Structure 1
Amino acid sequence: MDERQLRVLRELGELGSVTAVAEALRVTPSAISQQLRLLQRSIPVPLTERAGRRLVLTAAGQALADAAIGVETALARARHTIDEYVDEPDGTVSVAAFHSGAAAFYPLLLRRLDAPGSPRLALHDEDVAQAGFPPLTRTYDLVVAHRLDHAPPWPRTAVATPLLREPLDIALPVGHPLATRSVLTAQDVADQPWITVHDGFPLLATVEAVSAAAGRRLDIVHRVNEISVVAEVVAAGGGVALMPRWTSRPHPGVTLRPLGGIEAHRHVDVLHRPERTARRAVRTVLSELVEAAETIRCRGPA
């Protein structure tokens, strides 16, 4: 049995005829009869009987019709609860982001949403390979993810809202001879020791592009995913690295220089499942992330 069938049974008990029920529900009498037949198949005792030319409820049918009132009331309360949840402006919204994205976006997001009545944030960090971001949308309302320009697009199972197309620069120790140049090429940095991410993480593909453009294998000496740690290793003379221009925090011992001749950008996007933005609170946080991205882009290097 389902809600529609119980509604038809209840109306039949109150209105007294299939025709009257059809008129009240604005359907055909045959549609009403079909719903009654479908309901009867799931009930082991007769629900209706003939009284002359009229179809009336049996005692069992009347008992079920009475129970249908409680069912409709409960469903109405459930719908009202859902409506309130969906339209709740200050509901909790879970957000996950990769490390440098979290460092850049989370402080702005917290400041923007500190007024009474704003959504409550539940913030998380997730350091995963590119393929690992879309599955996170099962767990979190919004996922701040990144991928390289030439990487495969995000799967259609997730909605992607663009935030940034961020340049990737070469990070050098302050005082390094290459820091005197305004733009660096693959040949300039090919003979340097390198710090890069672990296999499968987005920035590695650009490092491989540098190697290809230089025509030689790079000397990768350190594997570090966390950008703030990379900055410390660069500053200490451990090598050069690719570093995001806007979302990495400035380090007094590190100089950034653009990389010429190679497409060195990454996309920073928000991923979510379509149904998540049915909630007003989630839409609010998504809008604030887009505004925060504009702030990050306009202020230049973090």
Structure 2
Amino acid sequence: MDERQLRILRELGELGSVTAVAEALLVTPSAISQQLRLLQRSMPVPLTERHGRRLVLTDAGQALAGAAIEVETALARARHTVEEFVDRPDGDVSVAAFHSAASTFFPLLLRGLAAPGGPRLAFGDEDVPQDDFPRLTRDYDLVLAHRLDHAPPWPRTVTATTLLREPLDVAMPADHPLAVRPSLRAADVADEPWITVHDGFPVMATIEAIGAAAGRRLHLAHRINEFAVVAEVVAAGGGLALIPRWTTRPHPALVLKPLDGVRALRHIDVLHRPERTARRAVRTVLAELHRAAGTVTGRA
């Protein structure tokens, strides 16, 4: 049985005929009769009987129709509870981000949503390969993910909007011979040792593109995912690295140079399952993320 069938049974008891029930529910009499037959199949005793040309409820039918009132009341109460939950401005909202996005956006969210009565934030750092970001939307309301500018789009199972399209610059010590140049090409940096991410992470594809543009394989001296650690290793003379322009904290001993001739650009996208934004609190956090992105690039 389902809610609609119980309502039809209740209406039949009150209105007294299939035709009257059909008119009240704006459907055909045959549709009402079909639902009553389906309901009867799930019951061990007759729910209706004929009195002349009229279909009326049996004692069992009347008992079930009475119970239907309680069911409708409980369902109405449950819907109201859900509506209150969905519309709460101070609901819990979980946000995941990879490390450099977390260090940039988490403080901005805390400051931007600090007023009383706003969403209650719960953060998690998730440094995963690109293909694993969509799976995180099972556990978090919003997931900050990164992918290269020319990478395939995210799967249709998640909704994605772009917060930033962030250049990846070549980081080097301030006293490096290449530091005096306004920009660099692949051939300029192809013979240097490199510090880069592990396989499966987006920056690796740009490293490979630099090697392809220069016509030789780069020497990958170190594999480090955390850009704060990368910056320290570069500053100590461990090699060059690609570092995001806006979401990595500036290092006093480093300079960043743009790369010409290679598409060195990453998207920072926010992923979520479509139903998550039915909640007012989640929409509030999502809007604040987009506002915060403007402050990161200096647009706001």
Equivalent residue number for residue 157 of structure 1: 157
Equivalences for residues 86-235 of structure 1 within 5 A:
86-235=86-235
Distance across 1 between alignment mates of 2:21 and 2:152: 56
Amino acid at match of 1:268: I
Q: Letter of the aligned partner of 1:262 in structure 2?
A: V
Alpha-carbon offset, residue 28 of structure 1: 2.1
SS of structure 1 residue aligned to 2:260: coil
User: Is the aligned partner of 1:265 residue 2:265?
Assistant: yes
The DSSP-based 3-state class of the residue aligned with 1:79 is: helix
Matched, 1:55 2:55: yes
Gaps of 5+ in 1: none
Alignment-mate amino acid for residue 25 of structure 1: L
> CA RMSD of the aligned region, Å?
1.2
What residue identity is the alignment partner of 2:9? Answer: L
Over residues 42-75 of structure 1, what are the superposed CA-to-partner deviations in whole Å (9 max), with x where a residue is unaligned? 1010001112222111111111111111110111
Residue identity (%): 76
SS of the residue aligned with 2:137? helix
How far apart are residue 299 of structure 1 and its match? 7.0
Q: Paired residue for 1:12?
A: 12
Find out whether 1:289 has 2:289 as its counterpart: yes
Structure 2 CA distance, aligned partners of 1:59 and 1:154?
57
Query: What displacement does 1:184 show?
Result: 1.1
Range moving further from structure 2, 212-221 or 64-73 = 212-221
TM-score norm. by structure 1 comes to 0.97
Q: Which position in structure 1 is the counterpart of 2:46? A: 46
CA deviations on 1:81-123 (whole Å, 9 max, x unpaired) are 1111111111111111110011111111110011111111111
For 2:40, give the aligned amino acid.
Q
Q: Which amino acid aligns with 1:167?
A: P
Is residue 28 of structure 2 the alignment partner of residue 28 of structure 1? Answer: yes
Aligned residue pair count:
300
CA shift, 1:227, in A, is 0.6
Runs of 4 or more, structure 1, over 3 Å off, are: none
- Deviation of 1:236 after TM superposition, in Å, equals 1.0
Task: Report the alpha carbon displacement of residue 19 of structure 1 after superposing the two structures with TM.
Answer: 2.1
Query: Over residues 253-272 of structure 1, what are the superposed CA-to-partner deviations in whole Å (9 max), with x where a residue is unaligned?
Result: 11111111111100111111
User: 1:156 and 1:29 mapped to 2: Cα distance?
Assistant: 41
Distance in 2 between residues matched to 1:57 and 1:250, nearest whole Å: 78
TM-score of the two chains, using structure 2 as the length reference: 0.97
